[in-house]
């Protein structure tokens, strides 16, 4: 039955695959890289901070390429891609995890903060995809993993530009899946709930069902292996958020307002 078939090609073996982890210096990115290196993949790590990536590379010297870059600068992204093709001769998988976040209310509108979040979360992805997607199309192969968030489902308080960029990534993933499927390219959308990282450490409120980066990485890798389009976790929390997200505005605003007023 077609409803049971995975929307993407499954992955049975990671050994020898060239994976580009963008945002690989901490949190989920670093954990995903470690997970895939243990499975035998060749991993290129890209982020602005190179020290943690270099520490990981020393543990897997033959499988790791550290290529620091600011994803907001397209010329630096292009340099990374040249490095990867020179080292591995190919790129099989792009996992985009780079993100910026600052809790900010619309009443405290700060365009400098908004621009930073927009440039890293959205423009950075467009910079990587604009160079890599044509190569994938030409080779009729490749896999793109876009890490969004449940914050992209609907508007949330204190999430002004972050939520907007994550919503844009959800729409982009859906569109790219439809447009790139005829080229044999797999697209995965990752929408995590709360994961303990340097970004969520900025939150001053209680975060329900928060998980650690290693658990998040396990979910992402497993979802890719199974060929799932949307990879969301932890399931109980994300299903609750999905259910709330489909409600009419009056009910949605009432529930979110109630949660904000009662959470501790």
Question: Burial letters for 39-74: b for 16+ Cβ neighbours within 10 Å, e otherwise?
Answer: bebbbbbbbeebebbeebbeebeebbbbbbbbbbeb
Q: How many CB atoms lie within 10 A of CB 127?
A: 22
Taking each continuous run of H as one helix and of E as one strand, the counts in the chain are 9, 7
Predicted local distance difference test score (pLDDT) of residue 3? 65
- C-alpha 62/C-alpha 86 separation (Å) is 14
- C-alpha 261/C-alpha 52 separation (Å) is 39
The answer to whether residue 38 scores a pLDDT higher than 70 is yes
> What are the pLDDT digits (tens) for 130-144?
999 999 999 999 999
Q: How many CB atoms lie within 10 A of CB 111?
A: 9
- C-alpha 90/C-alpha 78 separation (Å) is 14
Place 203 in a pLDDT band, splitting at 50, 70 and 90: confident
Q: Which of 208, 226, 139, 126 is nearest to 172 (CA)?
A: 126
Angle at 114 between CA 100 and CA 215, to 5 degrees: 25
**SS3 at position 184:** coil
Predicted local distance difference test score (pLDDT) of residue 262? 74
We report the CATH number of the domain holding residue 212 as: 3.40.50.720
Question: Alpha helices of 140-191 — where are they, by DSSP H?
Answer: 160-180
Place 197 in a pLDDT band, splitting at 50, 70 and 90: very high
The answer to whether residue 92 scores a pLDDT higher than 80 is yes
> What are the pLDDT digits (tens) for 73-87?
999 999 999 999 999
Q: Which strands, in side-by-side order, build the sheet including 93-96?
A: 64-66, 42-46, 18-22, 93-96, 143-147, 186-192, 230-233
Predicted local distance difference test score (pLDDT) of residue 264? 47
Q: Number of folded domains in the chain? A: 1
> What are the pLDDT digits (tens) for 153-163?
999 998 999 99
The whole domain housing 104 covers 2-262
Percent with pLDDT over 70 in the chain: 98
The answer to whether residue 263 scores a pLDDT higher than 80 is no
Q: Which of 43, 57, 34 is nearest to 93 (CA)?
A: 43
The answer to whether residue 2 scores a pLDDT higher than 90 is no
Give me the mean pLDDT over the 28-52 stretch: 96
Whether the CB-CB separation of 127 and 218 falls below 8 Å is answered with no
């Amino acid at each position: 039955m077609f409803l049971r078939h995975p929307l993407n090609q499954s992955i049975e073996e990671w050994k020898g695959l060239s994976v580009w982890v963008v945002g690989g210096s901490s949190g989920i990115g670093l954990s995903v890289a470690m997970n895939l290196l243990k499975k035998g993949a060749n991993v290129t790590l890209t982020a602005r901070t190179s020290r943690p990536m270099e520490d990981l590379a020393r543990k897997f010297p033959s499988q790791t390429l550290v290529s620091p870059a600011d994803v907001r600068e397209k010329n630096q992204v292009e340099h990374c891609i040249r490095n990867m093709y020179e080292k591995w001769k190919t790129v099989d998988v792009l996992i985009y995890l780079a993100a910026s976040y600052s809790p900010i209310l619309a009443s405290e509108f700060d365009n400098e903060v908004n621009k930073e979040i927009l440039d890293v979360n959205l423009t950075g992805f467009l910079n990587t995809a604009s160079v890599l997607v044509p190569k994938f199309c030409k080779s009729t192969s490749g896999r793109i993993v876009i890490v969004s968030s449940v914050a992209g489902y609907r508007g949330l308080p204190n999430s002004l530009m972050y939520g907007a960029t994550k919503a844009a990534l959800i729409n982009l993933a859906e569109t790219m899946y439809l447009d790139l499927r005829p080229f044999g390219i797999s697209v995965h959308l990752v929408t995590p709930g709360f994961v303990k990282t340097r970004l969520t450490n900025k939150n001053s409120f209680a975060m329900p069902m928060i998980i650690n980066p290693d658990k998040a990485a396990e979910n992402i890798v497993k979802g890719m292996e199974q060929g799932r389009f949307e990879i969301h976790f932890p399931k109980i929390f994300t299903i609750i958020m999905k259910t709330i997200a489909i409600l009419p505005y009056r009910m949605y605003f009432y529930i979110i307002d109630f949660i904000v007023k009662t959470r501790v």
